């Protein structure tokens, strides 16, 4: 949620920031300013009525003390009229408060001033490049074809169970997925993260806290609970960022205890709509996928440096696995709704001859903290401040699986895994089809 104090002081600055994002949410911001001004006007009216009521009520007592019954009756009638008008105005104020709150939830985070301007991914500057892509002396297969030939991926069975855009791993495929998850978690534990095992269903306000609701309602899976929980709406999480970040919801943290660094692996559920060409095949864009997520909670002055560290932690996974990758900084027009600054990690996919996103690392500033009311205390008597939150994929497991199959496939149809995976998988080789 944007800082309304800043929006009132510098609306033109917010407008410029939203234009740099493409300008689509400018009407939302203008509506927010209108509602906020109306809310403040009505609040002043209610406070004025409250003051008049209190003053008139005090005069009633004085009139009765002086035995001026006519004046007392007039004042009592005046107080009753004020109370009646207050009830109407307070009801209008409550309605307007809710409309203003909902309008504020629809305005994205203004980009940090260090974010490069741009409109599309063509404007994302490359920050770093990892190992060079392998040169094949045969035509590399895409991961779906390769996985199905090896008998480790079964999309037909997944479709029979759940429909399109679901995946099923068998044998060595399931084992490799488990190895990739364990490898990543262990790597991040060594880097100082705390492992967390989370619920996969959350309440609507938890999704509001990180910015998925109300904007991305159409992409979420909603579950209506029954029995004792009837009327208790829950959603399947689209990312572990949601429950991880909300662990500090309504909390007051000691500044000296920050940063908090958390890691979790969860399934993620998203209703991917529309057609994405080749993305309808394979593991690139599924309705259910597994992801290792990293979350930081920091002091405001530390969050930009934390973003660099978080990105390096995710990048280290690709580096150790010897995968060709690059790091790009997102331009203003490509930023996610809650992010003020982001980096994407992209891994090379030989079958497509291009890089594919495998991680997005974002600094959300105090945007999510304002929605969650997550604050920090620097010391006794000091004003409370909002914390800063950051998140990043560390990394998406299905896409990592796909990248390893494609980059480490051999001419005979086998896959020679990176040496660093051997202790987790039990060997280095997935043998060719019989």
Q: How far is CA 110 from the centre of its chain?
A: 15
Residue 208 CA to residue 212 CA, distance in Å, equals: 6
325's enclosing H/E stretch is strand 325-329
Is 178 known to be catalytic?
Answer: no
Verify whether residue 256 is a known catalytic residue.
no
Task: Look up 34 and say whether it is catalytic.
Answer: no
Rounded distance, CA 241 to CA 246, Å? 8
Nearest to 344 by CA among 363, 325, 331, 357: 357
Is the separation of the CB atoms in 76 and 61 below 8 Å?
A: no
Distance CA 99, CA 95 (A): 6
Q: Which of 99, 285, 309, 377 is catalytic?
A: 285
Catalytic residue among 53, 261, 270, 375: 270
* Token pair 């993305």: residue: 279
**Any residues with CB less than 8 A from the CB of 155 and at least 6 apart, and which?**
144, 148, 166, 167, 168, 282
Judge whether 397 and 264 are in contact, CB under 8 Å.
Answer: no
Of 165, 340, 375, 399, which is the active-site residue? 399
Task: Tell me the C-alpha distance between 114 and 119, whole Å.
Answer: 16
Cα–Cα dist 56/67, whole Å? 16
Strands 260-269 and 194-195: parallel
Q: Are 420 and 320 in contact (CB under 8 A)?
A: yes
Distances (CA, A) of 299 to 88, 280, 388: 43, 41, 6
Is 74 marked active-site? no
Structure tokens, 41:
């006007």
387 neighbors 298 (Cβ within 8 angstroms): yes
362 annotated active-site? no
CB neighbours (10 Å) of residue 113? Answer: 9
Given the residues 71, 219, 357, 385, select the one marked as catalytic: 357
148 and 155 Cβ atoms separated by less than 8 Å: yes
- Which residues, other chains included, contact 89 with Cβ-Cβ below 8 Å and sequence gap of 6+? 42, 45, 46, 49
Active-site pick, 339, 359, 360, 362: 360
3-state secondary structure of 376: strand
Residues catalogued as catalytic: 270, 285, 357, 360, 399
């Amino acid at each position: 949620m944007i800082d309304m104090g800043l929006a009132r002081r510098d609306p033109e600055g917010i407008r410029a920031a939203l234009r740099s994002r493409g300008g689509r949410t400018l009407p939302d911001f203008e509506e927010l300013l209108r509602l906020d001004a109306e809310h403040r006007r009505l609040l002043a009216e209610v406070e004025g009525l409250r003051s008049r009521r209190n003053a008139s009520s005090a005069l009633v007592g004085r009139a009765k003390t002086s035995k001026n019954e006519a004046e007392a009756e007039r004042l009592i009638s005046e107080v009753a009229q004020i109370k009646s008008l207050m009830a109407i105005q307070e009801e209008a104020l409550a309605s307007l408060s809710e409309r203003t709150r909902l309008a504020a939830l629809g305005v994205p985070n203004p980009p940090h001033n260090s974010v490069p301007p741009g409109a599309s991914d063509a404007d994302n500057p490359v920050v770093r490049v990892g190992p060079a892509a392998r040169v094949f002396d045969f035509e590399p297969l895409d991961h779906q074809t390769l996985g199905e030939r090896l008998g480790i991926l079964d999309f037909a069975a997944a479709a029979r169970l759940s429909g399109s855009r679901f995946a099923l791993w068998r044998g060595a495929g399931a084992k490799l997925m488990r190895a990739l998850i364990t490898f990543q978690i262990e790597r991040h534990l060594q880097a100082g993260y705390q492992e967390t095992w989370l619920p996969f269903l959350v309440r609507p306000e938890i999704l509001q806290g990180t910015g998925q609701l109300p904007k991305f309602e159409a992409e979420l899976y909603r579950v209506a609970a029954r029995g004792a929980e009837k009327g208790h709406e829950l959603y399947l999480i689209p990312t572990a960022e949601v429950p991880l970040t909300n662990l500090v919801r309504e909390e007051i943290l000691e500044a000296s205890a920050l940063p908090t660094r958390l890691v979790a692996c969860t399934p993620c559920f998203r209703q991917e709509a529309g057609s994405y060409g080749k993305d309808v095949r394979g593991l690139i864009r599924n309705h259910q996928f597994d992801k290792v997520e990293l979350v930081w909670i920091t002091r405001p002055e530390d969050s930009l440096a934390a973003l660099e560290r978080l990105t390096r932690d995710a990048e280290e996974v690709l580096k150790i696995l010897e995968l060709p990758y690059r790091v790009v900084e997102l331009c203003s027009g490509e930023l996610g709704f809650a992010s003020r600054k982001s980096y994407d990690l992209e891994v090379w996919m030989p079958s497509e001859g291009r890089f594919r996103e495998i991680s997005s690392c974002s600094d959300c500033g105090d945007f999510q903290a304002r929605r969650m009311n997550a604050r920090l205390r620097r010391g006794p008597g000091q004003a409370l401040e909002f914390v800063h939150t950051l998140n990043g994929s560390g990394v998406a497991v299905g896409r990592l699986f796909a990248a390893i199959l494609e980059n480490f496939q051999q001419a005979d149809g086998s896959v020679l895994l990176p040496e660093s995976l051997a202790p987790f998988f039990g060997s280095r080789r997935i043998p060719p089809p019989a």
